[in-house]
Structure 1
Amino acid sequence: SVQGADGPREIVIRPIRNREERQLLYLEEIEHRQHYVEEASQGRVAYIHIQSMDGRSVESFERDLFAQAHGKDALVLDVRDNGGGWTTDILLSSLTAPNHATTIPRDGGRGYPQDRRLIYAWTKPIAVLCNEYSYSNAEIFSWSIRTTQRGPVVGEQTYGAVISTGGTSLGDGTWLRLPFRGWYTNLDGSGMEDHGCMPDLRVENTPTALVSGEDPQLAAAVMEALRQVR
C-alpha cells in the first residue's frame, strides 16, 4: 500500500514483458502522431502507420481506413521503422484500384461497392513516409509508390535490403537461408538490394528535432498531402 493525501491505498503492480512495453509505447507514439496530423491539417488528412508488412498489419490498415481516414481528403501512410514482410501488393490493391464503373443503389448514393473488392479501396491523395529503417517489403512498397506515381514519397532513403529468401533445415539442426529472387525497379532497372528507395522529398529528422519532440518528416508529409487537395 502507499500513503496518499486521502489515506493509504492498495496498488497492484502487474509486471509485463519488454515486448509488451514496447508495443504500448508504440501505440502511444502513433496516437500522438494522429493527433498532430489532425491538428496540422485542420481535420483534412488522416495518418496510418504500417508497423510490418504482414497479415495483421493489413487488417490494422483496413480498420484504420474506416476509423482514421473516413471523411478525410488525403492520407499519410508511414512505413518508417518497418522491417518488411510480403504485403505490398495487397496494399496496392487498395491504393490503386480503378473505379471501372459507377453504381447507384436503391437507397441512393453514387460510387463503387466496397463489398466487391478484396480490400477497402482508398482512391484519394496519399503521401508516403519512409526512412533508413524501412527494410525489405517496406522498401518495395516505397518503390512501388514512386514507380506508379501514386503520391509523393517523403523522408530518407530506405536501407537497401531487398531480396526474397527461403530456408531449409540441415541434418545437424542448423538452418540454411538462401535468396531465390532479386528485385529491380522499373524506373531505371536498378536492383533494390543495396539501392534503397530515394524519396521524392528528402527530409531529415535531426537529433535536435527528435529531442524536442518534433517530426519534420511527418510535417512535410502532411504538407505534401494537403498540396494535392488544395
Structure 2
Amino acid sequence: MKRIVTYLLLCFPLGLLAQNASSTVPETDALHKLEVALEKGQYEISHYNTACYFSLAGKSALAFTYLEKAVAEGFSDLKVMENDGDLFSLHQDARWQEVLKRVQQNKKEREKTSELFFNQKLFWDSEHFVTPYAQNISDEEKIAGLSKLWSEAKYNFVNFDLIPNVNFDSLYFAYLPQVRGSKSTLEYYLILESFFAKLKDGHTNVFMPRELTDSVYARPLIRTRLIEGKVLIVGVHDPTLSKLGIAIGQEVVTVNDIPAKEYAARYVTPYQCASTPQDLQTHSFEHAFLRGSLSRPIKLQLRDATNKLHEHTIFRVKPAERSKKLRTPTFVYKVLRGNIAYIALNTFSNDSSAIEFASKFTEISKANAIIFDVRNNGGGNTTPGWNILSYLIDQPNEVHAYYTRDYKPTFRAWEVDQQVDIFKSKIFPNRKWLYTKPVIVLTSARTFSAAEDFAAAFKTLNRGKLLGEATGGSSGQPLMIQLPGNGSARICTKRDMLGNGEEFVGKGIQPDHRVAPTIQDVRKGIDTELEAALKILLK
C-alpha cells in the first residue's frame, strides 16, 4: 500500500507567493509585498503555510505569529509540524515547545470529538459485511457486497472525472440482476471484478476470497508480454518446460485452441482494472493472461523464430510457488561499459533498495553516469525512491502534488460543489552526499504506483531523462474494504500529479526518449532500452 510522507497543505485557491517557499528563501521585495498584502487581507493563504514561508525567510517572529493563528484555528497534525523541513529553523526557539503542546491538545480534542460520533473502524467495517466464505453465499450477501462497492466508490473514488461516460448509478442497477443470478461465490466475485473494471483505475479493484486463490490466481512458470502486436514468451522459469522446447522469444499463437488475442479479449481483459491502454495491455497479456485454476491444464500453440509451430500442454502452479520461482532481487547494481552504474530498483515494498543504495553510494559515486531501471517496479511505498533521489539534488524541491475529496454533508445540503484538499510534497537533499553527473531512468508500462512517484519526481526535478515507454498511469492511495464471503476490494482515494500540477493518472508519465523492445531483440537476448540509454550516455 502506497504512502507519502513530508507533505505541506496548501489551503489557498490561487497558488500565490507562498508556493515559492518550497524551494528557495524568498526575495526581500517579495517578502515585503507579502507582509503588506497579508496585513491588508488581500491573500487567502493558510496561516500554517504562511508560517512556513516566513520560517524559510528567517523571520521567526512572523513565523510564530502565523503558527499561533493556525493553532488557534484548530491545527492538530502534530506529525506534520514536527517533520516539516520548512520549520526546522524554529526548533531551537523556546516558543516551539509551547506551540507543539497546543497542537497536541488540539489533536486530543479532535480525537475526543471523533469518539462522540463513532469508532471509525467499527463504523466503516461493520461486522455485518464481514461474512465467512461459502461455496455459494446468500443472495442477501451478494446484494450487500455489490451495494457496499457502489457506496464506498461513490463517496471515496477520486477519478470519476476520468470516466465521464460511465453512469455509476445506472451501472449499479444493471449489475443487480447479475449478482442475484450468480450460481456460486466464484461466479459472483467475477461479476464484482467486471463491475469495478468499469471504473478503469489500477488502484481500484476486487480481490477474491483466499479460499478461491488456487481456483483463480494460479499461473504457469512462464512470463508473456505483448511485443510488436504479438504475445511473446519473455521468461521461462521451470527447467521441465525448457526441456519441452518452450523458450524465450516464441510467440503464443493459441491458448486452448483460441487465438491468443481473442482469448485475452474473452477471458481476461473484461476483469482487469486499468487506468490506461498500456496498463490494460500489461494486465491482459502479462499479469493475468494465463491466470486460472490450478486443476486445469493449458494447451498452447507456439511459433518459433523459424515459423515452426509447436503444441504443449502445461500446468499452473500455486501463486506462492510461482512468486518464489520468479522472485527478483529488490536492488541490482553493476558497472557497465564506460564506467556507467546500472541500478535496478525492482520494488519499493520495503526500504531495502534505499538502504542498499546508501551502503554502495561511495562506489556508485565514482561512476560516470547512473542508469536507474524501474521498468519492473510495481510500487509499494513512495519514501524509499524519494530517499534515493535525495542524492541527486542540492536544495529542497517540490516534486509532487495530489488531492483528495473533501466531502461535507452540510455543504451538500447547501448545494455547494464538493471541494478537494490539495497537498504538495517535497524532497530534501541528502545532507552528506551529492551526485551531479548524468542520470537516466528506464520506464515501462509496468512502472506503477510508488515507482511512478519516483519517475514523476525525477521528471519534475529535471535531473535527467526518462527513457523507455510510458508508465502505467496509476498512482494513488487505495482504501481497503471487506466484502461478504471473505473477499475484499480497494478504491483509489488520492489523485497524484507532477510537482507542477501536470496530470499523469490516466495517461502515464511520458518518456523523453521513447524506446520499446522488439521481437528480434528479445530473441537475441538484447535489452533494447538499456542499449539505447548506453548509446546516449557514451556518445
TM (normalized to structure 1)?
0.68
Amino acid at match of 1:193: V
Which residue is equivalent to 1:51?
346
- Rounded Cα–Cα distance in structure 2 between residues aligned with 1:145 and 1:226: 21
Query: Compared with structure 1, are the counterparts of its residues 137 and 50 closer, same or farther at alpha carbon in structure 2 (3 Å cutoff)?
Result: same
Is 1:179–2:526 an aligned residue pair? no
Is 1:211–2:507 an aligned residue pair? no
Which residue is equivalent to 2:378?
83
**Gapped regions of structure 1 (runs ≥ 5):** 1-16, 100-115
What is the Cα deviation at residue 206 of structure 1? 0.8
Which residue is equivalent to 2:390?
93
- Rounded Cα–Cα distance in structure 2 between residues aligned with 1:182 and 1:120: 32
- Of residues 191, 198, 202, the one that matches 2:514 is 202
- Rounded Cα–Cα distance in structure 2 between residues aligned with 1:97 and 1:85: 26
- Rounded Cα–Cα distance in structure 2 between residues aligned with 1:152 and 1:58: 21
**Number of residue equivalences:** 183
| Contact 1:152–1:224 (8 Å) recurs in 2 | no
CA displacement 1:121-177 (0-9 Å, x = unmatched): 433221111011111121222122222210011111111112221324468644342
Query: Compared with structure 1, are the counterparts of its residues 182 and 76 closer, same or farther at alpha carbon in structure 2 (3 Å cutoff)?
Result: same
- Rounded Cα–Cα distance in structure 1 between residues aligned with 2:325 and 2:492: 34
SS of the equivalent of 2:498 reads coil
- Rounded Cα–Cα distance in structure 2 between residues aligned with 1:86 and 1:47: 22
Amino acid at match of 2:340: V
Is 1:22–2:326 an aligned residue pair? yes
Is 1:149–2:462 an aligned residue pair? yes
CA displacement 1:181-221 (0-9 Å, x = unmatched): 1012245x443221101100011111210110111210121
- Rounded Cα–Cα distance in structure 2 between residues aligned with 1:119 and 1:167: 39
Structure 1 vs Structure 2 CA RMSD: 2.9
Query: Compared with structure 1, are the counterparts of its residues 70 and 90 closer, same or farther at alpha carbon in structure 2 (3 Å cutoff)?
Result: closer
Amino acid at match of 2:506: D
Query: Compared with structure 1, are the counterparts of its residues 167 and 20 closer, same or farther at alpha carbon in structure 2 (3 Å cutoff)?
Result: closer
Query: Compared with structure 1, are the counterparts of its residues 180 and 119 closer, same or farther at alpha carbon in structure 2 (3 Å cutoff)?
Result: farther
**Gapped regions of structure 2 (runs ≥ 5):** 1-320, 397-428
Which residue is equivalent to 2:258?
none
Q: 1:80-159 counterparts in 2 under 5 A? A: 80-87=375-382, 88-98=385-395, 117=430, 121-159=434-472
| Contact 1:48–1:64 (8 Å) recurs in 2 | no
SS of the equivalent of 1:76 reads strand
Is 1:73–2:368 an aligned residue pair? yes
| Contact 1:95–1:121 (8 Å) recurs in 2 | yes
Amino acid at match of 2:478: T
* Higher-helix-fraction structure: 2
Amino acid at match of 2:354: V
- Rounded Cα–Cα distance in structure 2 between residues aligned with 1:177 and 1:47: 35
SS of the equivalent of 2:511 reads coil
The structure number with the bigger radius of gyration is 2
- Rounded Cα–Cα distance in structure 2 between residues aligned with 1:207 and 1:93: 37
- Rounded Cα–Cα distance in structure 2 between residues aligned with 1:190 and 1:181: 15
Which residue is equivalent to 2:7?
none
What is the Cα deviation at residue 61 of structure 1? 2.8
Using the aligned pairs only, state the percent identity.
27
What is the Cα deviation at residue 90 of structure 1? 1.9
Query: Compared with structure 1, are the counterparts of its residues 216 and 209 closer, same or farther at alpha carbon in structure 2 (3 Å cutoff)?
Result: same
